[in-house]
Amino acid sequence: MPNLNKLKNLSGKMSIVGVSESDQIGKVPEKSPLALHAEAAINALDDAGFHLSDVDGLFTAGWSTLDIAEYIGVQPRYTDSTSVGGSSFVIHIAHAIAAISAGYCEVALITHGQSGRSDRAPQERHLGIPMVQFEYPYGIIGPPSSYSLACSRYMYQYGEDRTRNAMAEIAVSTRKWANLNPKAYFYDKGMTHDDYHNSKWVSWPFHLLDCCLVTDAGAAIIITTNERAKNARKKGVNILGVGEGHDHSMISQMPDLTKAFGIKTGPQAIEMSGISINEIDLAMIYDSFTYTVLVSLENIGFCKPGEGPDFLLEKSIKPGGNFPLNTNGGGLSYTHPGMYGIFTIVEAVRKLRNEAENRQIENCNLALAHGTGGLLSSTATVVLGI
Amino acid sequence: MKNDYNKPLPIPQPESDKFWNGLKKKEIWVQKCSSTNQYQFYPRTHCIFHNQNDIEWVKVSGDSTLFTYAIVYQAPMHSFLDDVPYVNALVKLNEGPIIPSNIVDIEPDPSNFKIGMKLKPVFVNVNKNFTLLKFRPA
Ligand SMILES: [Zn+2]
């Protein structure tokens, strides 16, 4: 079991000093995934006012750090290719503060780059693993199939109509946030509740507009000690709490289809932070699907199991509302190259630094970012403060 | 039986040969813990409840209920294009374990499905080497 007393000693000792996307996100066929990694890394270092030669810890997912380090041009003394889906980059934050506090490295670079839309060399999974052996032959393949099986069970347990209304509200409100973000894929395109309900079925109960985008994008994060953060160009964002874990790989092995591992990682990150969940000013929740947001909010503890639909409709999650959620436009409407988790952090840091321009929210001091990876398999929660 | 079957086929591992070979004979073999009688699916070389080797293979009927389902309209691979819409499901065997499958012999419309509905096994030979385990309403 995690030792909360030890973890509390780590709370607030490290800071994020740089974040960035790659120069372009969305449709970027002219750049390789490695180029997206490197571009984001250089941009994040620039944001921090650090140099490539400062980096001594490297973290990435979907790739070996061997290839990423060589391409970018770093020689890390701490190396971590933990790859458990889109939550991985949020997990890397937990790993980076552990590595830095133990003395393995001082400046951690987390990179992401993926050409989900334009990749010339997409990867496949090992054909002997149980998921491929027992689910693929039946056409239970990929996230929409698997997440829709979980959502269908949730609807059965907690009511189809109220779940549907909540999912529609997530889709429409997230689009409204995207309409304020010039980098968002759907910056110029609105969405009504009718658009949502009329969009075609992908895998019932998911409409097309329940599903995230498939884009090309990179992003990177720089983490260091509070001491070295004083040399950064901007004020550092404190890492207050972290939690990570997973409880299955393929959907048919999920212990409870209506509860992802956020039930562990959310409460841990909040307790480690020493804050109350009600103090969170911004929630950045990985939205592979509208349903992922709904169930994650419950798992983390914003409301009780099955009460997500009421919570979402009582609160207001759209711009100007009292519960700012996925304010970059999310994986649903901003960008989702395949593993989106890192972008929840990029946006949280921008909001905490008060640099989110016309989508800035007032008095944003505490943010929670939550990643979900695989097939509702892995989760990671991070609490950030300024 | 078709020879041009082009959907993903299982690549059995040594610990799962018994399961896949059983299906060819219309038999469903699953593992259970001989200490506590809990079932585990998929087959493994150890018991996930005790990290011991107290597992035995037992033959079950396939009588089961619908645990959850989804109706796929957008084929995840080209080879499923002719099948959509088709029904994915997690099926709860009466003995307890949950297994991934498809529901067949039913119009793929949500109004026809009730979670908890009773199911029977259907053995679908896809080529001379493989039989898949699907289910239909009982
Ligand atoms: Zn046992």
Show residues of chain B in contact with A259, CB under 8 Å. Answer: none
Q: How far is A330 from chain B (nearest CA, A)?
A: 23
Q: Which residue of A has its CA nearest to B79?
A: A139
Give, in order, the Cα–Cα distances in Å from A76 to each of A104, A205, A331, B78: 10, 45, 30, 42
Show residues of chain A in contact with B102, CB under 8 Å. Answer: 138-139
Asked if B100 and A142 come within 8 Å (Cβ–Cβ), the reply is no
> Left if phi > 0, otherwise alpha if psi is -120 to 50, otherwise beta: which for B96?
left
pLDDT at B1: 47
Q: Give, as one character, the DSSP assignment of residue A236.
A: P
Show residues of chain B in contact with A128, CB under 8 Å. Answer: 11, 13
Q: Name, in order, each residue with C-beta under 8 angstroms of A98's C-beta and a sequence gap of 6 or more.
A: A10
Show residues of chain B in contact with A143, CB under 8 Å. Answer: none
- What letters, b where the CB count within 10 A reaches 16 and e where it falls short, cover B39-62? bbbbbeeebeeeeeeebeeeebeb
Tokens representing A32? 């390789």
d(CA B27, CA A343) in angstroms, rounded, equals 48
Show residues of chain A in contact with B72, CB under 8 Å. Answer: 139, 144-145, 203
User: Angle A290-300/A262-273 helices, nearest 10 degrees?
Assistant: 50
Query: Residue A243: helix, strand or coil by DSSP?
Result: strand
d(CA B49, CA B136) in angstroms, rounded, equals 31
Which residue ranges make up each domain of chain B?
A: 14-137
With contact defined as beta carbons under 8 Å apart, do A244 and A217 qualify? no
Give, in order, the Cα–Cα distances in Å from A346 to each of A183, A256, B29: 13, 31, 49
Q: How far is B58 from chain A (nearest CA, A)?
A: 19
d(CA B64, CA B76) in angstroms, rounded, equals 27
With contact defined as beta carbons under 8 Å apart, do A289 and A147 qualify? yes
Please give the distance, rounded to the nearest whole angstrom, from the Cα atom of residue B55 to the centre of ligand 1.
6
Please give the distance, rounded to the nearest whole angstrom, from the Cα atom of residue B34 to the centre of ligand 1.
6
Query: Residue A221: helix, strand or coil by DSSP?
Result: strand
Asked if B77 and A141 come within 8 Å (Cβ–Cβ), the reply is yes
Show residues of chain A in contact with B88, CB under 8 Å. Answer: 138-140, 145, 148-149, 203
- Identify the residue whose tokens are 């030669």: A53
Show residues of chain B in contact with A126, CB under 8 Å. Answer: none
Is some CB atom of chain A closer than 8 A to the CB atom of B131?
Answer: no
Tokens representing B136? 């239909």
Interface test with A, best of B13, B20, B90, B133 (most A CBs within 10 A): B90
Is some CB atom of chain A closer than 8 A to the CB atom of B90?
Answer: yes
Asked if B101 and A200 come within 8 Å (Cβ–Cβ), the reply is no
Show residues of chain A in contact with B126, CB under 8 Å. Answer: 137
Residues 170-189 in A contacting B (C-alpha not used; CB under 8 Å): none
Interface test with B, best of A140, A211, A295 (most B CBs within 10 A): A140
pLDDT at A181: 98
pLDDT at A137: 96
**pLDDT surpassing 90 at residue B125:** yes
**CB count in 10 Å sphere of residue B9:** 18
Residues of chain A with confidence (pLDDT) below 70: 122-125
Tokens representing A188? 């110029």
Give, in order, the Cα–Cα distances in Å from A306 to each of A110, A157, A302, B69: 35, 8, 12, 19
pTM exceeding 0.90: yes
Please give the distance, rounded to the nearest whole angstrom, from the Cα atom of residue B32 to the centre of ligand 1.
8
With contact defined as beta carbons under 8 Å apart, do B138 and B118 qualify? yes
Task: Identify whether B110 is preceded by a cis peptide bond (ω within 30 of 0).
Answer: no
Which has the closest alpha carbon to A58: A31, A76, A34? Answer: A76
pLDDT at A124: 64
Asked if B89 and A149 come within 8 Å (Cβ–Cβ), the reply is yes
Side chain identity at A202, as an amino acid letter?
V
% chain B with pLDDT above 90:
93
With contact defined as beta carbons under 8 Å apart, do A252 and A297 qualify? no
Is some CB atom of chain A closer than 8 A to the CB atom of B11?
Answer: yes
**Domains in chain A: ranges and CATH:** 4-120+213-385 (3.40.47.10)
pLDDT at B4: 80
Residues 251-270 in A contacting B (C-alpha not used; CB under 8 Å): 251-252, 257
d(CA A122, CA A208) in angstroms, rounded, equals 23
Asked if B100 and A203 come within 8 Å (Cβ–Cβ), the reply is no
d(CA B110, CA B90) in angstroms, rounded, equals 15
Sign for the CA dihedral angle at A201, A206, A210, A213 comes to negative
With contact defined as beta carbons under 8 Å apart, do A146 and A376 qualify? yes
Give, in order, the Cα–Cα distances in Å from A89 to each of A218, A342, A369, B39, B136: 12, 5, 11, 35, 42
Asked if B132 and A141 come within 8 Å (Cβ–Cβ), the reply is no
Is some CB atom of chain B closer than 8 A to the CB atom of A145?
Answer: yes
Residue A92, H or E segment: helix A88-102
d(CA A341, CA A87) in angstroms, rounded, equals 5
